[in-house]
Amino acid sequence: MIIILIIAAIVSAIIGIKEGEGITDTIIIMIVVVINAIIGVVQENKAEKSLEALKKMSSHVAKVIRNKNLVVLPSKDLVPGDIVILEAGDYVPADLRLIESVNLKVQESALTGESVPVEKNSNVIEKEDIGIGDRENMVFSSSLVTYGRGKGIVTDIGMNTEVGKIAGMINETEDNVTPLQQKLNNLGKVLGIAVIVICIVIFIVGSLYGKEPIHMFMTAVSLAVAAIPEGLAAISTIVLAIGVQRMVKKNAIVKKLPSVETLGSASVICSDKTGTLTQNRMTVKNVFVNGRIYKVDELQNLDDETDIVIKAGMLCNDTKESEDGTLTGDPTETALVDLAYSLKFSKTIYDENKRVAEIPFDSDRKLMTTVNKFGDKYFVYTKGGMDEVLNVCINYRKSNEIKEDLKEYRKVIEENNVVMAEQALRVLAFAYKVLDNKPSESEIENLESGLTFVGMCGMIDPPRPEAKLAVEKCISAGIKPVMITGDHKITASAIAKELGILREKDEVVTGTELSEISDEELIKRVKNISVYARVSPEHKVRIVKAWQANGEIVAMTGDRSK
């Protein structure tokens, strides 16, 4: 369209000069072209500045050992071979191979889709072709250290990191013509052909009637120029700019003007799970006590067993609370504190039950234990995995009684654990015992023994309240929602069913299965697959291309998606 307008302006100038009518039409057309260009440049320049501001906000520093000294450097100054020190709260500045770790946990949801922080270690992995989510001795650029500390050697920087590879794949993606651009291009072709036809017809008809050839040529060209809609390009740009401004009010940055129209034409939306469809905040959904599972909203009149579980969750916990009430720490621990506050447990519990000793969480034991003084008694609280907690218990508490037949009751515990696991809940078990005296340093080593099992909590990163409504609107509008996540298959399926993304006869495919499917087969099957679990970033490109091969317009949303 712009090319046709420029040609029309040139022709108008020639005709105007020839016939002495001036170049008013030419000036008007060129003003339209210039305004159109200015609007586009200004709007996209605003987006670029916003993106640059975001980049500056996200730039990080690293604690590095160089020449046997600890120095703090900008992440961009790291080189392979540097030794980086990691502590809780640090952003990982590059891809690192761990050489030392102490209770290290890293939040990798932006890269892998894992809802909770991943435990890391410095062990050697013998297997080959290990997925990103299973590389426990590696930490990746832009991940957040949530717990513990560690030390690692820089293996990759910049575009060679896993995050950089994603950026590389996006940059290599071919720029497709948007639906509006395609329509305007088709219109431009039709107008171009129509202009030529008009010129020929008018010239031939005039010549047959004996008119001067040069006069008929000028007349034909004048009519052709008049057929060109000079304002169409400007109106299209202005409408797109208005759309971009509306997106800005929704806190969305649109880098290219045509993108806003393409988003409105999308027929498939591929979405990440963690933090996009879910809240990226663990929440307790179920509590198991006294031989059965209770939903949180059923815990109004608390019995003694539930009271012990809630207190254990609060006190055997390293969550920190800021002055404004914000909870920081491991997501599973903050979920336990949130549960206690929702059930009207007071913060005074911390003052009334001072911690006097502890055994920190360890990835080998998978347990955490604290000793809290209440009155003249010392309460030992232990939390951890179900099997690990049961292994240090000698009895259990039910209906306000201590019972000894733990071996039989263990079957009930395991059955209910399976029920919660099938709902994609992350399960923590709790046990306790009461001491008359404060344990000595030698006795602390034996705290995790002779405990009484009391209950379990099942938690999950729940869907956003608005996500289910958004999915319903998409489906009613004829848009196919697809979940693509690095999280586990069971978790992804449970969330997808709750949101309405996964329906009967829809398929769930893992990254391993996807790697074994050829591109041709994926193109045939892609319409039946609603959930992709445990996938790596490069899989996303294959999925999008498969949908595009079926003639669909695909939008991708998530933490690090284009």
Can you name the residues that pair with 401 across neighbouring β-strands?
398
Q: How far apart are CA 92 and CA 164, in angstroms?
A: 13
Residue 31 host element (H or E): helix 24-57
Phi then psi for residue 393, to 5 deg, are -105, 150
Inter-helix orientation angle 24-57/230-249, to 10°: 20
238's tokens: 């202005």
For tokens 């949303």, the residue is: 557
Catalytic residues: 272
Q: How far apart are CA 534 and CA 510, in angstroms?
A: 6
Phi then psi for residue 117, to 5 deg, are -60, 145
Q: In the CATH scheme, what is the code of domain 283-460? A: 3.40.1110.10
Q: Which of 57, 62, 76 is nearest to 145 (CA)?
A: 62
Q: How far apart are CA 13 and CA 480, in angstroms?
A: 51
pLDDT in tens, the chain (562 residues): 677 667 777 877 777 776 666 677 778 778 877 877 787 777 677 767 765 665 555 557 889 998 888 898 888 889 999 999 998 888 898 999 999 988 888 888 767 766 678 889 888 887 776 777 778 899 998 888 888 889 999 999 888 888 777 767 666 655 667 777 778 778 878 877 887 888 788 888 888 888 877 777 767 766 766 676 766 767 777 788 788 888 878 877 777 777 787 888 899 999 988 778 988 788 999 999 999 999 998 887 788 999 999 999 999 998 888 877 888 878 889 999 999 999 989 889 999 999 999 998 877 788 999 999 999 999 999 999 999 999 999 999 999 999 999 999 999 999 999 999 888 898 999 999 999 999 988 888 889 999 999 999 999 988 988 999 999 999 999 999 999 987 788 888 989 999 999 998 899 999 889 989 999 999 999 999 999 988 877 788 889 999 999 989 998 886 543 3
Report the alpha-carbon angle 186-188-189, nearest 5. Answer: 65
Q: How far apart are CA 114 and CA 273, in angstroms?
A: 9
Q: In the CATH scheme, what is the code of domain 79-156? A: 2.70.150.10
For tokens 């234990």, the residue is: 369
Q: In whole angstroms, how far apart are CA 22 and each of 8, 16, 18, 215, 222? A: 15, 5, 9, 17, 13
Can you name the residues that pair with 460 across neighbouring β-strands?
283
Answer yes or no: are the C-beta atoms of 532 and 483 closer than 8 Å. Answer: yes
For tokens 């961009």, the residue is: 76
Three-class DSSP category at 1 = coil
Would you say the pTM of this structure is higher than 0.75?
A: no
Domain range annotation of the chain: 2-54+176-249, 79-156, 266-279+464-557, 283-460
63's tokens: 């604690």
Answer yes or no: are the C-beta atoms of 315 and 381 closer than 8 Å. Answer: yes
Inter-helix orientation angle 24-57/2-19, to 10°: 150
DSSP assignments along 500-551, one per residue: T-S-TT-EEEEHHHHHTS-HHHHHHHGGGEEEEES--HHHHHHHHHHHHHTT
DSSP assignments along 184-245, one per residue: HHHHHHHHHHHHHHHHHHHHHHHHHTT--HHHHHHHHHHHHHHTS-HHHHHHHHHHHHHHHH
Q: How far apart are CA 30 and CA 37, in angstroms?
A: 11
Strand ranges (E), 348-437 = 354-362, 367-374, 377-384, 393-398, 401-403, 426-435
Q: How far apart are CA 250 and CA 549, in angstroms?
A: 31
What sign does the CA torsion over 345, 348, 352, 355 have? positive
What sign does the CA torsion over 458, 460, 466, 469 have? negative
Q: How far apart are CA 486 and CA 276, in angstroms?
A: 13
For residue 428, the tally of other CB atoms under 10 A from its CB is 25
Answer yes or no: are the C-beta atoms of 97 and 82 closer than 8 Å. Answer: no
Position 315 scores a pLDDT of 95
Strand ranges (E), 88-214 = 95-107, 118-119, 138-139, 144-156
Q: In the CATH scheme, what is the code of domain 266-279+464-557? A: 3.40.50.1000
